[in-house]
Amino acid sequence: MKKIGILIRKEMLDILRDKKTLIMMILVPIVLYPLLIIGMTLVLNSVMSTSEEVSYTVGFDGEYADVVADLQEVMAQDSEEFDEDVEFLAMDEGGSSAVLDATLRFETDSDGRLRAEITYDSTAMNSAHVCRMLEDAVEGYRQKLVVEGLAKLDLDEDFLHPIICTTVDEVSEAESFGVSIGGSIGMMLIVMILMGALYPAIDTTAGEKERGTLETLLTLPVTNFQMIFSKFVSVAIIACVTALLSLISLAGSVLFLIFGVAGDMVVEFGFSATAMVGALPMLFLTMLVTALLSSALCMCFCVFAKSFKEANNYVTPLLLVVMIASMAGMLPSVELDQRTVLIPIVNVSLMMKQVLSQQFSFVLAGVANLVNLCVSILIIWFLAKMYDSENILFADGFRSFRLFVRRSDVKKGTVPDNGDVMLAVTVLFLLMIYVGSAASARLGFWGTAVTQLMILAVPLLLVWYMKSDVKTLFSLNAPRKGTVLGSVLLYLGTYCLIMVLSVALMVLFPESMENVELAFSPIAEQPFVFILLVVALMPAVGEEFLFRGLMFGSIRANWLKRHPKEPAVKGAVYAILISAAVFGVFHMSLAKFFTTFLLGALFAYIVYRTGSIYVTMGLHFVNNAVSMAVMKYPEAVGKVLPFLMEEELSMVEIVGLLAAGVVLAGLGFMLLGKKKE
């Protein structure tokens, strides 16, 4: 940890002394953005003000001079609508149209109707403008004729309008402001962060290689992970600072515009900054995570390059892809939902749009950040592996590197290291989000089974690949004698405590508890056998393999290997806590975290004590089966175990449960503890 600190200090100093980075980081945001924005607005303003003074010329057939005169009369009557001068010029056949903004031709068809045709140039601003004016004028003239005609028939104008339709825009001005500019601000922010990350990323990877200092760095007593992690953190810090500076300078320019040159334009939108204050922490977090993600992305490409030039080549496609992805916010119909939230970069862009239009969902924003964080971790893991490979350093770029050890090179009985385990969980997590949610959407209830199969498959694949000794790693043993009773008692006791805890949590997070119930409602419709199979049996096997088998087993084995002299209990505690924490996070619910954590720790402890995963599989099955039974047959369960059904517990019940829990868990502990080898 200390070494990482020293390395980060060194990287920062090195980066900050590079002129190119400094220019990108400070000069561009502070000078270029205001110049661009203010300059653009000024130019736009001057264009608009010159266009106001222009008078338009429209050519027409001399034949229909009387119609044109009527049109002019209409325009003169409504001076608000037609506030600019339009000069009508009668033109002969084949007359030049070079000086005309538009031409107006009339024709009387066989029914005696007058047809007007406006010819204009859609690329010229004046021509398009006058075209619209003429259209309005003709429409006005039509109405006038209609009213006159009706008057002849002794009819009122209202005769034509037996029904009147009006539309009201529900969206507040602030919201429409967000939709219209939120997307582009999101895109600008993403590109700014990426730009900020780009140069330091190149400098610390390809630059270091080019300067020949990487080989020196490799001679130092630091691990590859420390090296790549400190580089990554430094790049991310620079990216954040750049983004912050850009944001400040952007905001400054906009404020300058509001209070200076073009005040009315912006104020018109009625955009209230105060409403955004609540979203600020999430925005800040998003910026941080985006900085991490773009740093990781940049470094991922630059690592392969041997020189600045090469790195620039590699990064160009990345830039293009990110730019396009970040434009998602500008598409009108694309919103941040359960699917778009899963695409990195795109989700940030859409989130920015949401924030600025003040329809902000904390849950979706949180998921978006979680996804981006996962992707970043994955990339960094990948990078650490890459730096491991000396080919990257001594051979040419992409050629002949191997990310994974070839399976034939894996020694038999290898324990996956902690990084491998975490990678498996991250991959699984992403799989669940992408494949799992797609499967659920398509297959409904059976989609859950797909997810469960993935949970089962990932750990099994990993241990197959690593040729691990599954029996030891997964504790596939019969339980030690006399430990089963202790485990059951301990489980029952903990269950009592968890019940009290979840009632307490229900008070704290009422909404998310409702969400949980909502999520289970489609399941309750299925036959109970299926429910037992998919929601109780499959998780009992898959999750136990993953968390108690792979994770607890590997982390503990690795700890023991690394600390041969320390007491083995410490390793077990360490492995129990970590596997339980991941188990808790894995269930993707803030409210359920504490209870699942407790349950995860309990199961890991039982595996540790009994030496058998079958015990926890059984308990896990029972645990899920009971809660499914409660869901499916509330009345029947209520008769047998009434306290399971109650939303609120009375004081007596709480005390009773607590006491029962402590007694049972204590008994269980005693029974399990006694059977120490």
Partner 1 sequence: MIEVRGLCKEFERSRKAERTAGKAKKQRVKKETFLAVDHVSIEACEGEIIGILGPNGAGKTTLLRMMGMLMSPTGGEVVLTDEEGNEIAELTQKKAAIGYLSGNTKLYPRFSVREYLQFLGELYGFDKDMVRKRSEEIFKVLDMEGFADNRIEKLSTGQTQRASIARCLMADPQVYILDEPTLGLDILSADAIIHFMREQKERGKTVLYSTHYLEEAQILCDRIYMIRDGRIVAHGTPAALMQQTGTDNLRAAFHVLYDTEGAR
* Phi, then psi, of 619 in degrees rounded to 5: -65, -40
State which of residues 112, 123, 394, 412 lies at the interface with partner 1 (CB under 8 A).
394
Q: Does 567 bind partner 1 (CB under 8 A)?
A: no
Gap between the Cα atoms of 484 and 490, Å rounded: 10
Q: Of 21 and 452, which has the nearer Cβ to partner 1?
A: 21
Nearest Cα residue to 326 out of 511, 188, 142, 527 = 188
CB of 9 to partner 1, least distance (A): 8
Q: Are 403 and 386 in contact (CB under 8 A)?
A: yes
Q: Are 345 and 329 in contact (CB under 8 A)?
A: no
Nearest Cα residue to 295 out of 500, 565, 8 = 8
State which of residues 77, 97, 213, 316 lies at the interface with partner 1 (CB under 8 A).
213
CB of 406 to partner 1, least distance (A): 12
Gap between the Cα atoms of 84 and 56, Å rounded: 8
> Mask 55-94, x = binds partner 1 (CB under 8 A)?
----------------------------------------
How many amino acids of this chain bind partner 1 (CB under 8 A)?
24
CB of 332 to partner 1, least distance (A): 48
- Tell me the three state secondary structure of residue 102: strand
Q: Of 180 and 389, which has the nearer Cβ to partner 1?
A: 389
> Mask 166-205, x = binds partner 1 (CB under 8 A)?
----------------------------------------
Q: Are 38 and 256 in contact (CB under 8 A)?
A: yes
Gap between the Cα atoms of 610 and 616, Å rounded: 9
Token look-up 């619910």 returns: 589
Gap between the Cα atoms of 364 and 140, Å rounded: 50
Q: Of 391 and 589, which has the nearer Cβ to partner 1?
A: 391
Q: Are 370 and 287 in contact (CB under 8 A)?
A: no
Q: Of 152 and 411, which has the nearer Cβ to partner 1?
A: 411
CB of 391 to partner 1, least distance (A): 9
Q: Of 12 and 533, which has the nearer Cβ to partner 1?
A: 12
CB of 419 to partner 1, least distance (A): 15
Query: What are the C-alpha distances in Å from 64 to residues 110, 181, 417, 442?
Result: 17, 46, 89, 65
Q: Of 3 and 675, which has the nearer Cβ to partner 1?
A: 3
CB-based burial of residue 503 (10 Å sphere; 0-12 exposed, 13-18 middle, 19+ buried)? middle
* Phi, then psi, of 119 in degrees rounded to 5: -105, 130
Which one of the spans 81-89, 211-219, 565-573, 619-627 is the region binding partner 1 (CB under 8 A)?
A: 211-219
Q: Of 227 and 243, which has the nearer Cβ to partner 1?
A: 227
State which of residues 212, 332, 527, 567 lies at the interface with partner 1 (CB under 8 A).
212
Q: Does 566 bind partner 1 (CB under 8 A)?
A: no
Q: Does 211 bind partner 1 (CB under 8 A)?
A: yes
Which one of the spans 13-21, 162-170, 506-514, 531-539 is the region binding partner 1 (CB under 8 A)?
A: 13-21
Q: Torsion over CA of 333, 335, 338 and 343, rounded to 10 degrees?
A: 100
Token look-up 């990323």 returns: 201
CB of 121 to partner 1, least distance (A): 58
> Mask 396-435, x = binds partner 1 (CB under 8 A)?
----x-----------------------------------
CB of 392 to partner 1, least distance (A): 12
Q: Between residue 362 and residue 391, which ones bind partner 1 under the rule CB under 8 A?
A: 390
Which one of the spans 33-41, 209-217, 517-525, 544-552 is the region binding partner 1 (CB under 8 A)?
A: 209-217
Q: Of 339 and 562, which has the nearer Cβ to partner 1?
A: 562
CB of 302 to partner 1, least distance (A): 18
Q: Does 18 bind partner 1 (CB under 8 A)?
A: yes
Classify residue 307 by its DSSP letter: S
Gap between the Cα atoms of 6 and 12, Å rounded: 10
Which tokens belong to 194?
């990426």
CB of 394 to partner 1, least distance (A): 7
Q: Between residue 21 and residue 60, which ones bind partner 1 under the rule CB under 8 A?
A: none
Q: Of 207 and 661, which has the nearer Cβ to partner 1?
A: 207
Nearest Cα residue to 595 out of 653, 512, 519 = 512
Q: Does 675 bind partner 1 (CB under 8 A)?
A: no
State which of residues 47, 48, 218, 645 lies at the interface with partner 1 (CB under 8 A).
218
> Mask 219-248, x = binds partner 1 (CB under 8 A)?
xxxxx-------------------------
Which tokens belong to 493?
């006791």
CB-based burial of residue 49 (10 Å sphere; 0-12 exposed, 13-18 middle, 19+ buried)? exposed
CB of 222 to partner 1, least distance (A): 7
Q: Of 8 and 572, which has the nearer Cβ to partner 1?
A: 8
Gap between the Cα atoms of 631 and 628, Å rounded: 5
Q: Are 466 and 415 in contact (CB under 8 A)?
A: yes
Buried b (16+ CB within 10 A) or exposed e, 223-235: eebbbbbbbbbbb
Which one of the spans 70-78, 208-216, 264-272, 357-365 is the region binding partner 1 (CB under 8 A)?
A: 208-216
State which of residues 85, 215, 396, 566 lies at the interface with partner 1 (CB under 8 A).
215
Residues found in the chain: 677
The side-by-side arrangement of strands in the sheet containing 102-108 is 86-91, 56-61, 102-108, 114-120
Residues 6+ apart with CB under 8 A from 349: 183, 186, 187, 190, 325, 326, 327, 328, 329, 330
Q: Of 7 and 578, which has the nearer Cβ to partner 1?
A: 7
Q: Of 115 and 565, which has the nearer Cβ to partner 1?
A: 565
CB of 395 to partner 1, least distance (A): 9
Q: Of 10 and 467, which has the nearer Cβ to partner 1?
A: 10
State which of residues 17, 113, 161, 481 lies at the interface with partner 1 (CB under 8 A).
17
Q: Are 34 and 249 in contact (CB under 8 A)?
A: yes
CB of 243 to partner 1, least distance (A): 24
Please give the full DSSP string across 107-173, using - where no structure is assigned.
EE-TTS-EEEEEEE-TTSHHHHHHHHHHHHHHHHHHHHHHHHHHHHTT--GGGG-SS-------S-H
CB of 223 to partner 1, least distance (A): 6
Helix 483-508, helix 613-632: angle, nearest 10: 40
Listed in sequence order, the DSSP H helices in 179-307 are 183-202, 208-211, 213-219, 224-259, 263-267, 280-302
Residues forming contacts to partner 1 in the complex (CB under 8 A) are: 3, 6-7, 9-10, 13-14, 17-18, 211-213, 215-216, 218-223, 390, 393-394, 400
